[in-house]
Amino acid sequence: MSEMSEKYETITHDEEFLFIPDKTTKSKKKGVIKIFVIAIASILIILTLFFIISVFLAKPYDNTWLSNFLLPESDNAIETEVEKLKSYYFIGFMLTIAVVSMIISSILIKKSKNKK
């Protein structure tokens, strides 16, 4: 009886100094990161679609906040064209970010499916 208790004490004493990371916590962290990336990608896609649709639906001289943001009124035709280009560049930038995040999220999904 005393031999077994001595063995148990030595094992527990040795294990206090050993830290073995749990594999489940690592996989949970990766899963949270994947969900976060997919959520950001979907939000960016929705925002990009909103801006694309709003540009095609906005008329240059409507007095709505959207048309004033995208195509502000100006007495100078050149300034109006410059503002149109700025809004198109902004939409292109948003679309690029959305596509890149979609690609990253699809790669992450494929990797997670391959590991299973």
pLDDT in tens, 77-96: 666 667 777 777 777 777 77
Q: With contact defined as beta carbons under 8 Å apart, do 65 and 73 qualify?
A: no
* Number of domains making up the chain: 1
Tell whether 21 is covered by a domain: no
Tell whether 66 is covered by a domain: yes
Q: What is the mean predicted confidence (pLDDT) over 3-9? A: 53
Tell whether 95 is covered by a domain: yes
Average pLDDT, the chain: 66
Tell whether 105 is covered by a domain: yes
Measure the CA–CA gap between 96 and 102, rounded to whole angstroms. 10
Band the pLDDT of 69: cuts 50, 70, 90: low
Q: Which domain holds residue 77?
A: 33-115
Tell whether 20 is covered by a domain: no
Band the pLDDT of 76: cuts 50, 70, 90: low
Tell whether 56 is covered by a domain: yes
Tell whether 18 is covered by a domain: no
Q: What is the DSSP letter of 76?
A: S
